[in-house]
Structure 1
Amino acid sequence: MVTDKNGYMHLIEYLTEHLSLFENMPHSPNSISPSIIETIEEELGEQIINVCMQNSNLTFNQRNTIVREVDSILYDLEEILSTVVNNPISIEQLSFIKEFALLIKNLFDSEINSYDSQ
């Protein structure tokens, strides 16, 4: 659906261009902040719920495809950020992740709109 599209590849490139946001951040096991991966899961989940709510005409199979795609995206993000996913999140990282999750939502919106216009 989206992970095999050029837009997704561009988003992954965008993430890699901003990896410096995630480097050299101290890991504090006593931090009460959520981890980077927890934040990614929450933000992506929120955006995908929005996609499904805004597109109530999606079939059960289409919704399942979206869930599988999100699982694949999470796997990719865990791989790219593997050394820092358990670190507490900073304000700058949170801002970037919110933006990134919204861009992922936009990919799904575009793909769904292209199906609807066919």
Structure 2
Amino acid sequence: MPVAASIAIAVVALIHVYIMVLEMFLWTHPAGRRAFGLTPAFAAASRVLAANQGLYNGFLAAGLLWSLLPGSPAAIAPFFLGCVIVAGVFGAATASRKILLVQAMPAAVALALWWLA
């Protein structure tokens, strides 16, 4: 895999690790509430749902990091990047357009770099 594609995939994975930490561990803390624009009451009420959502973001990160390992199956990177793109488009349509820029766009760039290889 070319270096540019590997770097882009690593960036997408790190974004999802960051999102996982925000959702699983910092949801009710000031940093988590600020990142998602939450009131303390809403953050407290939705904490369990956010932790579950964060776990899924961790799975996306794990799959992307797996794709960077030597000998990983060739189809792993585009599969997980596609999952991120679909999740980002769905999130943009249902929650916030910002998700399109934060999640889907970096994954689309990484997928394009992978595809051009």
TM-score when scaled to structure 2?
A: 0.34
Higher relative contact order (CA 8 A, sep 6+): 1
TM-score when scaled to structure 1?
A: 0.34
Name the one with the larger helix percent.
2
